[in-house]
Amino acid sequence: MPEPQPQSWRSACPVNIALEILGDRWTLLILRDVLLFQRSTFKDFQESPEKIASNILADRLKKLQQHGILESHRSESDARVIAYRPTTKGLDLLPVLIELILWTDRYEETGAPRRSIARLRRAPHEVIAEIKAAFADPTKVAKRSGK
């Protein structure tokens, strides 16, 4: 087999599809908060350090749900709160997010704690498994550790 490459599937390369879903600044920030930092409510996201505007946030949350990446339901502990959770499809974005973080940490100045990054680099699979397990277990999702 002298020719492993099947002669350019560029026009069929899935990158462009991914970009229609994720290719804007805010969407990935929301996913960061949901997947990595256990945020779940509209207010949580609004309080992100990047100060997302409420209309943009509403729009992106809607799109993320339409794409089947997030789902929402009323909180059981507090009925007036709507909690957003990742679907399986959403959780499967963790590898992308982690690779992105590792790349950025390698080449840009960030204040990220060494221990967290080191663990992501050493055992990403382990971290992913933990996060998935946490979302699979209802009790862990319901209560976000105080503070």
Partner DNA sequence: CCGGATCCGTTTCGATACTG
Partner DNA sequence: CAGTATCGAAACGGATCCGG
Provide the binding-site residues for its own copies, judged by CB under 8 A.
Answer: 4-20, 22-25, 28-29, 32-33, 36-37, 48-50, 68, 89, 92-93, 95-97, 99-108, 110-113, 115-116, 119, 147
141 binds, among its own copies, DNA, none (CB under 5 to 8 A by kind): none
Tell me the C-alpha distance between 42 and 53, whole Å.
11
Select the binding partner of residue 104 from DNA, its own copies, none (C-beta < 5 to 8 A, by kind): its own copies
CA distances from 69 to 9, 19, 82, 102, 125 (A): 26, 14, 16, 22, 20
- Residue 70: helix, strand or coil by DSSP? strand
Beta carbon nearer to DNA, 54 or 116:
54
Q: Where are the beta strands (DSSP E) in 16-147?
A: 70-74, 82-86
Q: In sequence order, what E strands does 48-87 have?
A: 70-74, 82-86
Per CB under 7 A, 18 contacts DNA: no
Question: Using CB under 7 A, which of 22, 82, 127, 131 touches DNA?
Answer: 82
For residue 28, the partner it binds in its own copies, DNA, none, with Cβ less than 5 to 8 A by kind, is its own copies
